[in-house]
């Protein structure tokens, strides 16, 4: 059985798209321009070291949501970072140990605040990809190729 030609065509675009992403000038997180909604894949880096890859339909909104301190269900990247330094693998899906409970814990919030500051000091690169299938595939490829699997875990919820 041979590889589906549409899938094969997508696979052939992965490395050139990664080269395009890495070739973008990095922007400071706080200086993401107010643009019309852009769909694609973004890369957070810290001191030029790739840290996290994500995908979005709205670049600016999604970047800002990663370090949201007001809503316990937002700020997923900062939350993952805080869990790691707090010594917790992830939030539970029950009341005790939930994101909401952790978010209200003053000790956890110290870790969350540090993670937010850390993210705000990072840079972001972005490549526009409107096709959601290519976005999914490229996000996974870029995370694996760049070694960002510490925070790109791809667990199901």
Please give the Cα distance from 1 to 30 (Å, whole number): 49
109 assigned to some structural domain: yes
Range of the domain at 71: 5-146
Cβ atoms of 41 and 128 within 8 Å: the answer is: no
CB 117 within 8 A of CB 69: no
Closest CA to 140 of 130, 148, 150: 148
pLDDT tens string 68-78: 667 766 678 88
User: What's the rounded Cα separation, in Å, for the pair 90 and 144?
Assistant: 21
In 24-124, alpha helices (H): 59-65, 76-86, 99-104, 106-120
Structure tokens at 83: 């869990």
Q: How far is residue 88's CA from residue 48's CA, in Å, rounded to a whole number?
A: 27
The reported pTM is 0.87
User: Does residue 154 fall inside a structural domain?
Assistant: no
In the predicted model, what is the mean pLDDT of the chain? 87
Domain count, the chain: 1
Q: What is the mean pLDDT of residues 74-86?
A: 85
DSSP 2: P
Quick one: what percent of the chain has pLDDT higher than 90?
50
Using one digit for the tens of pLDDT, what is the confidence trace for 113-154? 999 899 999 999 999 999 999 999 999 999 999 999 888 877
Paired strand residues for 71? none
**What is the CATH classification number for the domain harbouring 142?**
3.40.1440.10
pLDDT in the model for residue 78: 87
DSSP 3: P
Count other Cβ atoms within 10 Å, centred on residue 17: 19
What CA–CA distance (Å, rounded) separates 46 from 150? 14
């Amino acid at each position: 059985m041979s590889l589906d030609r549409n899938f094969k065509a997508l696979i052939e675009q992965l490395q050139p798209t990664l080269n395009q992403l890495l070739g973008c000038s990095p922007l400071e997180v706080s200086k993401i321009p107010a643009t019309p909604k852009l769909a694609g894949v973004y890369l957070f880096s810290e001191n030029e070291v790739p840290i996290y890859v994500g995908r979005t339909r709205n670049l600016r909104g999604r970047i800002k949501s990663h370090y949201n301190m007001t809503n316990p269900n937002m700020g997923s990247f900062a939350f993952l970072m805080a869990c790691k330094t707090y010594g917790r693998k992830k939030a539970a899906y029950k009341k005790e140990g939930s994101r909401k409970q952790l978010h209200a814990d003053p000790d956890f919030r110290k870790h969350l605040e540090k993670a937010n500051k850390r993210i705000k000091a990072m840079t972001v690169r972005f490549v526009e990809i409107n096709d959601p299938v290519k976005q999914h595939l490229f996000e996974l490829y870029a995370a694996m190729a760049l070694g960002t699997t510490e925070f790109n875990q791809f667990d199901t919820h």
